């Protein structure tokens, strides 16, 4: 009786027309593909931003090391000015979490390195890094610099991806280390 009623109302003909219709296929395909396209687009955008941020972190390390190595002496004011350059270089990215460290090393005739002075800046606040006289483990490629003085700059930055704002992934750690020799004097005293 129900089937007779459906035939009478014309629902079976409507069902056949709906099953044979292809008018909405494109809309359905677009709705299925859209999330994948958006994820691909946002990932490509965020990836290019991450490459740009890493490049800027590298430039900060290089610039800080270059400016310190060109100095004949260093003091708190000059050091603060050199570190302040980082916000202009890192722009448009936030400087939140940016840690910059400058360590000067004396290396004796046996290739043993000790810290002359070390300063670290986090969020615009400068603090003492390693203590003067602390041993410093030189990487193998620098152990040939016996009886010399080096400036080592290290920069660390936690890059926040678009997905890290939603809590889906954690920050991406970025960093760079540069080594320079003093250019205008044998050593760079801090005082």
Q: What pLDDT, in 10s, does the model give residues 134-160? A: 999 888 888 888 889 999 999 999 998
* Count of helix runs (H) and strand runs (E) in the chain: 5, 6
Give the residue from 64, 93, 60, 43 showing the smallest Cα distance to 175.
60
Give the residue from 24, 25, 36, 69 showing the smallest Cα distance to 181.
69
Domain ranges (residues) in the chain: 25-180
List strand residue ranges (DSSP E) for 14-171, in order.
99-107, 113-122, 125-128, 135-136, 148-159
Q: Is 74 left (phi over 0), alpha (psi -120 to 50) or beta?
A: beta
- Report the alpha-carbon distance of residue 167 to residue 41 in Å, rounded: 19
Per-residue model confidence (pLDDT) at position 176? 94
Least confident of 24-28, 100-104, 149-153: 24-28
Considering the chain, what percentage of its residues have pLDDT values greater than 70? 87
pTM of the model: 0.77
The pLDDT of 154-174, averaged and rounded, is 84
DSSP string, 60-77: HHHHHHHHHHT-SSB-HH
Could you tell me the maximum CA-CA distance found in the chain, to the nearest angstrom? 105
SS3 184: coil
The pLDDT of 4-16, averaged and rounded, is 57
The pLDDT of 45-60, averaged and rounded, is 94
- Report the alpha-carbon distance of residue 33 to residue 48 in Å, rounded: 23
Res. 100: pLDDT tops 80 = yes
Instruction: Say if CB 106 and CB 112 are below 8 A apart.
Output: no
């Amino acid at each position: 009786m129900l089937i007779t009623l459906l035939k009478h109302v014309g629902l079976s003909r409507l069902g056949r027309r709906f099953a044979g219709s292809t008018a909405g296929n494109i809309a359905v395909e677009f709705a299925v593909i859209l999330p994948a396209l958006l994820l691909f687009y946002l990932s490509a955008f965020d990836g290019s931003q991450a490459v740009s941020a890493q490049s800027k972190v590298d430039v900060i390390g290089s610039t800080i090391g270059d400016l310190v190595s060109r100095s004949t002496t260093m003091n708190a004011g000059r050091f603060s000015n050199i570190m302040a350059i980082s916000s202009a270089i890192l722009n448009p990215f936030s400087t939140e979490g940016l840690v910059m460290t400058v360590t000067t090393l004396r290396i004796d005739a046996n290739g043993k390195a000790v810290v002359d002075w070390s300063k670290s800046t986090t969020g615009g606040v400068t603090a003492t890094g390693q203590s003067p006289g602390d041993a410093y483990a030189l990487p193998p490629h620098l152990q040939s610099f016996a009886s010399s003085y080096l400036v080592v700059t290290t920069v660390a930055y936690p890059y926040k991806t678009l997905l890290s704002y939603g809590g889906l992934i954690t920050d991406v750690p970025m960093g760079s280390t540069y080594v320079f020799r003093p250019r205008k004097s044998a050593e760079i005293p801090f005082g």
